[in-house]
Amino acid sequence: MTFLPKDPNSMRTPTVILAVVGIAACSAATPDQAPAQTPQNRQANMVIATGCFWCTESDFDKVPGVLATTSGYIGGNTANPTYEQVSAGGTGHIEAVRVIYDPSRVSYATLARHALRTSDPTDGGGQFCDRGDQYRPAIFFGDASERKTAVAATAEAAKALGKPIATDILPRTRFFSAEGYHQNYYTKNPLRYRYYRLSCGRDARIKELWG
């Protein structure tokens, strides 16, 4: 299937990317490094995937203690992947979001739990209307402590739902920021974003699962 360049002002669909005349060219994703931690600048970061990164950004920006979010790609073998490459599948990347947070206000454990409760962790084939490995849910860890925390969060979710959890727990690898028009899409295009989220059935499924 051929995937056409995505218009920053178009609605997202699970199976095809629409092109609009006059679309501005977008640059390829570039590797992005999180800010270093210092005593004067207490920041930590994690990467999570809950399907559409527009929605993930929106969900995590609402969490007290989250300082910034960046949509991007992680886990694949292609250098500087583009949205068209990742969404078409085959690069090994997952749509994900890097979350910068203040660990004195919110913990990795709380954010991992939030990822599970703002997604369908029982579905490993994608999320909601977005299908394929590139949309599968995942929590990434940077060390053994974070891995242990993520495992505990998924075990808690399995107990709460009474179902197996399909959310992957994966070592954190190189993260590439997505093209600029994807960043904060939900604030730049609120009407289109809300229509996409509603038509994709995300909130309805989350309510069905989690109440």
Domains, in order of start, for the chain: 30-210 (3.30.1060.10)
Q: What is the pLDDT of residues 135-176, one digit of tens each?
A: 999 999 999 999 999 999 999 999 999 999 999 999 999 999
Tell me what the mean pLDDT of segment 128-135 comes to. Answer: 97
Name the token pair of 205.
Answer: 């499924």
8 A C-beta contact, residue 45 and residue 102? no
| 57: nearest Cα among 143, 168, 182 | 182
Q: Which two tokens stand for residue 29?
A: 């994703």
162, exposed or middle or buried, with CB in 10 Å at 0-12, 13-18, 19+?
A: exposed
pLDDT, tens digit, for every residue of 66-104?
999 999 999 998 999 999 999 999 899 999 999 999 999
Is 210's pLDDT higher than 70?
Answer: yes
| pTM score, whole prediction | 0.83
The residues near 49 (Cβ < 8 Å, ≥ 6 apart) are: 56, 74, 94, 95, 96, 97, 135, 136, 137, 138, 139, 140
> What is the H or E stretch that residue 72 is in?
strand 66-74
Residue 123 pLDDT > 60: yes
Sign of the CA dihedral running 76, 78, 83, 87 = negative
- Sequence-distant (≥ 6) Cβ neighbours of residue 208 within 8 angstroms: none
* Confidence tier at 23 by pLDDT (50, 70, 90): very low
pLDDT, tens digit (0-9, with 9 covering 90-100), for 34-57? 544 444 468 999 999 999 999 999
Catalytic residues: 52
